[in-house]
């Protein structure tokens, strides 16, 4: 893990989006929402953004997408600053897809198909191409059968999927997600994460804000922690969650599986394979069980002798 004061982050990968000392205060607000944020999203990674409500996550997203413009500092896309003109901001919105916290607020049209086509229509693509892309995305997200459904008839999980599909149909290079699993039940969360896995495999970089550290630990390649409009910690999950004192100061819980893993007796951990940290409790449990089965077998062998 590197402190933010250390040199640039993922030097081994290409940088996709970079914030450089960005400051932003909402008009009329007493204190800044971003106060010198510097952060680099590496290409091709699954990134998670942790931090309290009000730490500036949403403001960061709105800057990434070009809706807000920094009052100080700059935002760079693949190394070059984002222009202020309409055309380059429009192009940016195409490359960076933003899925809002509440799908209710993102879904604009009346039916599923209409909503999915909204972004494409804004690109002024020919109708035939829009139709083709639409059919493609509906098939990929398995929503062809509800294409003509009015949006208010869908469940929350379905709405979240439509919101995601409406962004993915634009084929963005970077996908920003703001707490995509809140209010979802476990089946829904699981299928949402599978969806993300597919998207990532197809080549999209993902940055997801969440409060669920267990999910973050299980899913992320790289973790950012923000506080008071600044980046305060970043690194691979194991590294970020090792710094107990720092996390306590940030009021962040340690992921359950990692907490228990670290507390296991060294001997047992070695048996389970200390080099490869389990990412979910199910994985840890499975490996522990494998070990005890071995031990049982071993014991029974010994007994037989």
Residues near a copy of itself, by CB under 8 A: 51-54, 101, 155-157, 179, 182-190, 211, 213-214, 251-254, 256-257, 259-260, 262-266, 268, 280-282, 284-286, 288-289, 291-292, 295
**Minimum Å distance from CB 157 to another protein?**
16
**Minimum Å distance from CB 300 to a copy of itself?**
14
Q: What is the dihedral sign for C-alpha 257, 263, 264, 266? A: positive
Query: Which of 1, 4, 76, 147 lies at the binding interface for another protein (CB under 8 A)?
Result: 147
Choose the one of a copy of itself, another protein, none that binds residue 93, judging by a C-beta under 5 to 8 angstroms depending on kind: another protein
Choose the one of a copy of itself, another protein, none that binds residue 3, judging by a C-beta under 5 to 8 angstroms depending on kind: none
Asked if 181 and 212 touch (Cβ cutoff 8 Å), the reply is yes
By CB under 8 A, residue 122 contacts another protein? yes
> Which string of DSSP letters, residue by residue, matches 82-127?
PPSSHHHHHHHHHHEEEE-S-HHHH--SSBHHHHHHHHHHHTT--H
Query: Which of 6, 7, 28, 266 lies at the binding interface for another protein (CB under 8 A)?
Result: 28
**Minimum Å distance from CB 113 to a copy of itself?**
22
223 conformational bin, left if phi > 0, alpha if psi -120 to 50, beta if neither: beta
Residues 76 to 105 in contact with another protein, rule: CB under 8 A:
90, 93-94, 98, 100, 102, 104-105
SS3 for 225?
strand
Angle between the 127-140 and 112-122 helix axes, to the nearest 10 degrees?
A: 130
Choose the one of a copy of itself, another protein, none that binds residue 52, judging by a C-beta under 5 to 8 angstroms depending on kind: a copy of itself
Query: Which of 9, 40, 106, 204 lies at the binding interface for another protein (CB under 8 A)?
Result: 106
Asked if 158 and 188 touch (Cβ cutoff 8 Å), the reply is no
By CB under 8 A, residue 238 contacts another protein? no
**Minimum Å distance from CB 28 to another protein?**
5
99 conformational bin, left if phi > 0, alpha if psi -120 to 50, beta if neither: beta
Asked if 291 and 299 touch (Cβ cutoff 8 Å), the reply is no
Asked if 41 and 10 touch (Cβ cutoff 8 Å), the reply is no
Binding string, residues 155-194; x marks residues near another protein by CB under 8 A: -----------xx--x------------------------
Count the helices and strands in the chain (H runs, E runs).
Answer: 13, 10
């Amino acid at each position: 893990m590197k402190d933010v004061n250390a040199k640039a982050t993922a030097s081994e990968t290409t940088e996709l989006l970079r914030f450089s000392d960005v400051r932003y205060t909402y008009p009329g607000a007493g204190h800044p929402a971003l106060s010198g944020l510097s952060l680099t999203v590496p290409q091709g990674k699954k990134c998670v953004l942790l931090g309290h409500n009000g730490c500036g996550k949403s403001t960061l997203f709105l800057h990434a997408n070009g809706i807000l413009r920094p009052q100080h500092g700059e935002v760079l896309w693949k190394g070059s600053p984002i222009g202020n003109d309409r055309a380059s901001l429009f192009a940016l919105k195409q490359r960076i897809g933003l899925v809002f916290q509440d799908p209710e607020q993102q879904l604009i049209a009346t039916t599923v198909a209409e909503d999915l086509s909204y972004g494409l229509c804004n690109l002024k693509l020919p109708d035939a191409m829009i139709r083709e892309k639409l059919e493609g995305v509906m098939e990929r997200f398995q929503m062809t059968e509800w294409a003509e459904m009015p949006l208010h008839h869908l469940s929350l999980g379905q709405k979240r999927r439509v919101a995601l599909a409406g962004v993915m149909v634009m084929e963005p290079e970077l996908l920003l997600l703001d707490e995509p699993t809140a209010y979802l039940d476990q089946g829904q969360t699981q299928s949402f994460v599978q969806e993300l896995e597919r998207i990532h495999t197809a080549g999209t970089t993902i940055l997801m804000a969440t409060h669920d550290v267990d999910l973050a630990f299980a899913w992320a390649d790289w973790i950012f922690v923000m506080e008071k409009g600044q980046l305060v910690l970043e690194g691979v999950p194991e590294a970020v969650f090792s710094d107990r004192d720092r996390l306590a100061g940030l009021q962040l819980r340690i992921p359950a599986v990692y907490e228990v893993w670290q507390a296991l007796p060294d001997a047992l951990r070695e048996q389970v394979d200390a080099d490869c940290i389990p990412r979910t409790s199910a994985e840890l449990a499975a490996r522990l069980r494998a070990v005890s089965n071995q031990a049982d077998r071993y014991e029974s062998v010994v007994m037989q002798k």
